[in-house]
Amino acid sequence: MAGRGAAAPPLLSAAAAGSLAVCAAQLGLAWALGRRLGGRCAAADRWVLGWLCYDVLVHCTLEGPFVYLSLIGTVAESDNIFASLWKEYGRADARWLYSDPTIVSLEILTVVLDGLLALILIYAIIKDKYYRHFIQITLCVCELYGGWMTFCPDWLIGSPNLNTSNWLYLWVYLVFFNGIWIVLPGLLLWQSWLGLKQMHHEKSNTRKKIR
């Protein structure tokens, strides 16, 4: 039992604080890029662009290095700044440390396909392209599928790789950082639904006027 003079353990380790700082920096950069790119867009689309810029940054600067490290070895065996970030996340989900085939397969798809779709969608929104909602729906479905397949296989065997004993690992790493890739794609699907519905009504009204 610690004596009265013992210092209380920190709420965040240095590794955790560094990882969260990197995520915050990416979020700030993405927000700035979204505002700059969407200067002529509607307010809602500027928010969407900010999210998409964050999406691309994460896929390219975090998940891309994870895929590389997992294909040449494992995160646990690697020793660099990217490995240290994933080792911290691996405290919550051990599969990311040892090149779990399901995780690596999903991340390859995420980096290549989702990253490309997000870039195309950014262009489609800025240039107001006709295929914007097709790309948006496709990207959202891919990301929702990725979220489901990240956790469902582990849930079905009793979640042996998930560490929920610590509030940071459970609520920040597992729930928050994975939940945003469920909530925001869901909201974008709803936006596409409303956009397509509006286009259909406008087309129907135009036909009625012609008749």
* Tens of pLDDT, residues 174-204: 999 999 999 999 999 999 999 999 998 887 7
Please check whether residue 4 lies inside any domain of the structure.
Answer: no
At residue 163, does pLDDT exceed 50?
Answer: yes
State the residue range of the domain holding 178: 15-203
Please check whether residue 5 lies inside any domain of the structure.
Answer: no
8 Å CB contact between 119 and 56: yes
Q: Which of 13-17, 119-123, 185-189, 192-196 has the lowest mean pLDDT?
A: 13-17
Q: How far apart are CA 175 and CA 168, in angstroms?
A: 10
Count up the domains in the chain and report the number. Answer: 1
What is the residue type of 92?
A
Identify the pLDDT of residue 9.
45
Identify the pLDDT of residue 15.
83
Please check whether residue 1 lies inside any domain of the structure.
Answer: no
Average pLDDT for 92-101:
97
Please check whether residue 210 lies inside any domain of the structure.
Answer: no
CA-nearest of 20, 25, 44 to 34 is 44
For 155, the token pair is: 């849930």
At residue 33, does pLDDT exceed 50?
Answer: yes
Please check whether residue 127 lies inside any domain of the structure.
Answer: yes
Q: How far apart are CA 110 and CA 115, in angstroms?
A: 7
Q: How far apart are CA 85 and CA 62, in angstroms?
A: 8
What is the residue type of 200?
H
Please check whether residue 107 lies inside any domain of the structure.
Answer: yes
Average pLDDT for 2-21:
67
Q: What are residue 93's DSSP bridge partners?
A: 162
Burial 31-66 (b: 16+ CB within 10 A, else e): bebbeebbeebeeebbbbbbbbbbbbbbbeebbbbb
Between 6 and 66, residue with greater pLDDT: 66
At residue 6, does pLDDT exceed 90?
Answer: no
What is the residue type of 90?
G
Identify the pLDDT of residue 201.
85
Please check whether residue 8 lies inside any domain of the structure.
Answer: no
At residue 147, does pLDDT exceed 70?
Answer: yes
Identify the pLDDT of residue 196.
95
Identify the pLDDT of residue 31.
94
At residue 170, does pLDDT exceed 70?
Answer: yes
Query: Tens digits of per-residue pLDDT, 52-88?
Result: 999 999 999 999 999 999 999 999 999 999 999 999 9
What is the residue type of 132?
R
In percent, how much of the chain has pLDDT > 90?
84
Please check whether residue 167 lies inside any domain of the structure.
Answer: yes
Average pLDDT for 18-24:
92
20 phi, psi to nearest 5 deg: -65, -35
Helices (H), 38-176: 43-58, 64-72, 81-89, 101-109, 115-126, 132-156, 167
